[in-house]
Amino acid sequence: MLKVTLVFCLATLWSLTFAILPRPCRDFPSFTSVNVSDCEGDFSPCPFVKGSNVTLTASFISNIDSQNTTIAVFGKITTLKIRTPFPISPNSGCFYGIPCPIKKNEEYTFQLTMPIRRLYPAIRVDTGLELFGDNNARIACVQFPARIQ
């Protein structure tokens, strides 16, 4: 019985060691909620399947008045910390459901669908979603683990 308990504890500890929760970005306010299609739970990398689309739905409370918003999505290769943008066109948040202009202290939700191209390497990445206002003012950001497969 002691062996079974010890093995269970070690397996639990090992799984928690590799668990990465979605987290806010440094020097940015946080989104109030973020949902990623086909991503279950907070502890596993979100699967980004080549040749498919990933839909991100995010809500935020604006910290500024702004005429426009800009969305940026990036991936950081986990081991190398190299930041690479995921191309979004257009990158205006107004195109994805944010009514522009936005007002300070109002809550907004938008939805962005992006293709996972077959040419992307199969690799684990820390994915980031950033939202900017006029003059690159930082509105919100979140990072979460993903695995391109």
Per-residue pLDDT reduced to its tens digit, 66-107: 999 999 999 998 778 788 898 899 999 999 999 999 999 999
The domain made up of 21-148 has a fold known as: Immunoglobulin-like (2.60.40)
User: Which long-range CB contacts under 8 A does 91-97 form with residues at least 24 apart?
Assistant: 92/68, 93/68, 93/69, 93/131, 94/68, 94/69, 96/71
Separation CA 25–CA 33 (nearest Å): 14
Q: What is the pLDDT of residues 4-61, one digit of tens each?
A: 332 333 233 333 333 335 677 888 899 999 999 988 766 689 999 999 999 999 999 9
Q: Which structure tokens are listed for 32?
A: 């109030």
Q: Where are the domains of the chain?
A: 21-148
**What's the whole-model pTM score?**
0.79
Q: What is the DSSP letter of 67?
A: S
